Structure 1
Amino acid sequence: MNNTLISVVVPCYNQAAYLDECLQSVLDQTHQNWECIIVNDGSTDHTEETAIKWTQKDNRFIYTYKKNGGLSSARNTGLKKASGGYIQFLDSDDTIHPEKFSKSLSGNKEYPLIVSQFTIYRNQTQYPGYNRVEQNYLSFEGILFGWDLKFSIPIHCALISKKLLEDFQFDTTLTSCEDWLMWIYITKNNPETLLIDESLAHYRKEDSNSMSSDLYKILHQRIKIFPMLKKLYGDHIHDRLMYHIIEVRSTQYIQQRNEFKKATGGKVVSGYLALKRYYYSLFQKKN
């Protein structure tokens, strides 16, 4: 069995109510060789008090405080401090199965990327994941062309070799879709990937009245990502993804636009139109 040190990165911002459960799921791991870096991103609740309690309970918990800079900034801080051969990102309101690490590393072969299925907790009730993770999703093209269109994968499903994350930083200008860029980055050379067909990651998704505003935000964030993809991977990848979304998913966007309009009184339509304008401006430059 692979006994590699695993660095767990737990960013925290005003979610102290869930932090005990999150950190207990790390302490309960049957694989013992881990460190857990708790990054307090300027919380104003009792996150610090809770985190320090855990460092006193077990010295494998490491606490650090930083000025509030957002989720990406907190993950970057944890990643810099990580010394393990594998990285496990774990948001402070989520949990992992006690055997996630041991089952991920139980084989004779070492994989740079290990991904499990997941379940969702909504209002204390467990549900299956919205989608099953399939092996063909876990490639550069699978992630690039399928993300948010066919599937999405919670970040804590993955156990990632630190080598795959060399020179990577989460983009702090993004407030959503930042994990998509991470998945694109770590799969860019199609590393050999192990898919564990068990739900070893548990994702908390509480009911919220802000769903429509989140959808509005996601549309605008996606617009910001396209130029980033162009810079990182060139015109070919950028244009293929753009055409894919236009040709394959245009009907879906129109349906969503109408639903968003009803839900938000028209606010989200501006996000849809901004996305549409971006596409059209690219067409005009090409023709």
Structure 2
Amino acid sequence: MSVVIPCAPKAEFLAETLRSVAEQTHQDWEVVLVLDGECEQNRAAARTLPDDRVQVHLTPAPRSGPAVGRNIGLEAAKHDLVAFLDADDLCLPDRLAHQVAVLEQRPGLGMVGSWARKIDPSGQVVGEMHSAIGPEVARTMLLFNCLITSTVVVRKELAAEAGGFDPRCVRLEDYDLWLRVMARADGDVLPEELVGYRVHPDQYSRGALMGPQTKLLRRSKQALAKRIGVSGLGVAARHAAWLGVQVAHRRW
């Protein structure tokens, strides 16, 4: 398993994030750390892992964004299965083991996420993040993104075939790729909290921007809808509802 971690400079929680990977019960893993700007603090955190377990890459320019970083990690990954993890989140000990087992048991499954628990800066649990599971995942994805990126494991070949993360889809690049992957293969969510999702003031998490990227997203939704037998009218209605939510929560 390759664990891809895109990382901004001076990532406060990176050492803790890397430790959560090192403590996995599934020990056949590597970390692909992609630095979005040079930072000795982040490199020092990477050196806490054995050299043969970690790759460190730099984006072409600082502040290239998570789509560029994740694409670099996806391409560099040595394993057929790729897990994504943000630099402030945590893997619970059985995360990789449970997701590897499911993907091995279900060869038609292209990607799998999981539920998560919200944690504060000190690591204390402050909430939960539960979503649709089973066949409802695909239909829910036509309405909103029910997959938490830090919980996702995808088959590398399938993600590459789908085109990877599109940097044009600012703040929507993960949603867009999951739609394109699920237009080619099944996706599921495990009803287990396998990741600690960090909630803190510096977190990069805002409502999606409006603009050309929403058209790209609609195109990806249409491809998934065709695969699961949802009409074009149904896609349009769901997309309009999603846009309404984005407008309501936009920070001007």
CA contact (8 A) 2:37 2:58 kept: yes
Residue aligning to 2:127:
128
Residue aligning to 1:199:
193
1:62 CA displacement: 1.4
Q: What are the ranges of 5 or more consecutive residues in structure 2 without an aligned counterpart?
A: none
CA separation of 1:158 and 1:232: change in aligned 2, threshold 3 A? closer
Matches within 5 A, 1:138-217: 138-139=137-138, 141-147=139-145, 152-167=146-161, 168-191=163-186, 193=187, 195-207=189-201, 214-215=206-207
**Count of matched residue pairs:** 240
Deviations 1:92-134 (A, max 9, x none): 1111111111122336724432322111113433133344342
Alpha-carbon distance between aligned partners in 1 of 2:164 and 2:30, rounded to the nearest angstrom: 20
Deviations 1:199-254 (A, max 9, x none): 0011112136997xx33xx1425x522145438957x87764333344x5788678
CA contact (8 A) 1:16 1:50 kept: no
Amino acid at match of 2:105: K
Amino acid at match of 1:65: L
- Which of 214, 217, 220 aligns to 1:225? It is 214
1:21 CA displacement: 0.6
Deviations 1:47-92 (A, max 9, x none): 12322x235x352111122332111111111111012111101111
Taking structure 1 as the reference length, the TM-score comes to: 0.71
Are 1:62 and 2:55 an aligned pair?
A: yes
Amino acid at match of 1:120: K
Secondary structure of the 1:73 match is helix
Structure holding more helix per residue: 1
Alpha-carbon distance between aligned partners in 2 of 1:229 and 1:245, rounded to the nearest angstrom: 7
CA separation of 1:121 and 1:45: change in aligned 2, threshold 3 A? farther
Secondary structure of the 1:47 match is helix
Structure with larger Rg? 1
Q: Which moved more, 1:117-126 or 1:176-185?
A: 117-126
Amino acid at match of 1:54: T
CA contact (8 A) 1:14 1:44 kept: yes
CA separation of 1:105 and 1:209: change in aligned 2, threshold 3 A? closer
CA separation of 1:26 and 1:123: change in aligned 2, threshold 3 A? closer
Identity of aligned residues (%): 21
Residue aligning to 1:279:
none
Alpha-carbon distance between aligned partners in 2 of 1:123 and 1:26, rounded to the nearest angstrom: 18
Amino acid at match of 1:98: P
Taking structure 2 as the reference length, the TM-score comes to: 0.80
CA contact (8 A) 1:9 1:90 kept: yes
1:20 CA displacement: 0.5
CA contact (8 A) 2:31 2:53 kept: yes
- Which of 26, 29, 48 aligns to 1:31? It is 26
Q: What are the ranges of 5 or more consecutive residues in structure 1 without an aligned counterpart?
A: 1-5, 269-287
CA separation of 1:245 and 1:80: change in aligned 2, threshold 3 A? closer
Q: Which moved more, 1:82-91 or 1:225-234?
A: 225-234
- Which of 83, 89, 92 aligns to 1:88? It is 83
